[in-house]
């Protein structure tokens, strides 16, 4: 496979996104939210129905927290509460 600028940039962006997501997953677990599934840029936790909104608010806060090694990085997240996947 020939390496060219576009491929190199794509791989660097994907690697950086993976590091940011892994960092957020560790924060979510440390906050006591049990991650049961994560795919690409999506995280699923399982909590009691009465804790759903609080868990969602906390997850959004944790997902948008900038990593210490990337100050000023603009991050955004959104989510929804479901009773099944």
3-state secondary structure 12-80: HHHHHHHHHHHHHHHHHHHCCCCEEEEECCEEEECCCHHHHHHHHHHHHHHHCCCCCCCCCCCCCCCCC
Rounded to whole angstroms, how far apart are CA atoms 3 and 13? 15
pTM attached to this predicted model: 0.86
The DSSP code for 83 is S
* pLDDT the model gives residue 5: 80
pLDDT at 1 over 80: no
* Number of domains composing the chain: 1
Over residues 8-30, mean pLDDT = 94
**Mean per-residue pLDDT for 17-35?**
96
Range of the domain at 68: 1-85
């Amino acid at each position: 496979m020939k390496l060219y600028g576009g491929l190199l940039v794509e791989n660097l962006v994907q690697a950086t996104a993976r590091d940011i997501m892994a960092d957020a997953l560790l924060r979510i677990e440390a906050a006591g939210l049990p991650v049961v599934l994560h795919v690409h840029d999506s995280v699923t936790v399982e909590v009691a129905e009465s804790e759903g909104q609080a868990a969602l608010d906390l997850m959004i806060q944790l997902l948008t927290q900038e990593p210490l090694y990337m100050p000023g990085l603009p991050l955004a997240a959104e989510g929804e509460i479901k009773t099944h996947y």
